[in-house]
Amino acid sequence: MKAEDAWGPRWVNCAHPLSHEFMRISSEKQSLVVLAADLPTVDGIVELIEELGDYVCALKTHVDMVEGFNMEEWRRVVDATRSKGMLLFEDRKFADIGRVAQTQMGGLYDIRSWADLVTSHSVSGPDVIDGIATAWDEVERIGGVLLLAQMSSSGNLLVEGYTESTLDIGKASPHVLGYIGNGSSVSELRELRSKVGDGRMIWTPGVNLSAEEGILGQRYGHPVEAVLAGSDAIIVGSGIHKSDDPLSAVREYASSSWGALLER
Ligand code: S5P
């Protein structure tokens, strides 16, 4: 199916080129799955990519979880991700002043050189986004930022007013591809979508086909309900990599999320 037919108004109204790249990949793979590869070793992540990559649109990493990190080893993750035709998404959750975010995009992990997407908090104001974008400029790469407008963790401080200010910051920046919306609450997601409109994406963690509650305050909702409420990507970690049969699990997440998009 052609991406523009599946995505309708989102295809027409999103401006960031990587949002179209994501929509194109999703239509090819018939999946809205973003895999949260929260594993401590490069070998483990590469294995996951090779086994599941055909059903995954973007690989989400926490690079600072990897034990004994070195860039040469990390290249294996980057290469495997590219060879499976996925976007690479570092969930760094930047939150500092612009200048510091810019330098943090370099440094040991050199995120600017391999990540297509990163997350950022908006708590420090809009300049954090410019810092991130400047770092991508320095290496002549295009990247996109997902701002945390909501969170899935219980007791988080991203209250309604904060969410609205975050959307104002996002609207003002061409680097903001979209927002993180809370998958554990259909009503919060619906509300978020009505405020965001069609011009930005909403990507959603806190979704699981079976678990009701995660560990340490993580909350879950159903991925199909999240997509029907307006979410464009489901970010799934343990629901897939902790499953007894990760391949069947990823297939299930892929087909149910894609079906929900078509229904929407
Ligand atoms: O509010 C949030 C935002 C994010 S990006 N809640 C989250 O859980 N995440 C991330 O999504 C989190 O860092 C983790 O990598 C993933 C959820 O993993 P799961 O194992 O609970 O599916």
Q: Does 211 have pLDDT greater than 80? A: no
Residues identified as active-site: 93
Give me the DSSP letters along 66-109.
STT--HHHHHHHHHHHHHTT-EEEEEEEE-S-HHHHHHHTSTTT
Q: Provide the domain limits for residue 181.
A: 3-263
What would the two tokens of residue 69 be? 């990190």
**Residue whose CA is at the smallest distance from ligand 1 atom 7:** 205
Q: What is the DSSP letter of 153?
A: B
Dihedral sign (CA 33, 15, 122, 137): positive
**What are the tens digits of pLDDT across the range 214-246?**
889 999 999 999 999 999 999 999 999 999 999
120 C-alpha vs ligand 1 centroid, how far in Å? 13
- Is the CB of residue 178 below 6 angstroms from any atom belonging to ligand 1? no
Question: In CATH, what number is assigned to the domain containing residue 154?
Answer: 3.20.20.70
**What are the tens digits of pLDDT across the range 143-171?**
999 999 999 999 999 999 999 999 999 99
In degrees and rounded to multiples of 5, residue 158 shows phi and psi of -85, 70
Total domains in the chain come to 1
**What are the tens digits of pLDDT across the range 103-147?**
999 999 999 999 999 999 999 999 999 999 999 999 999 999 999
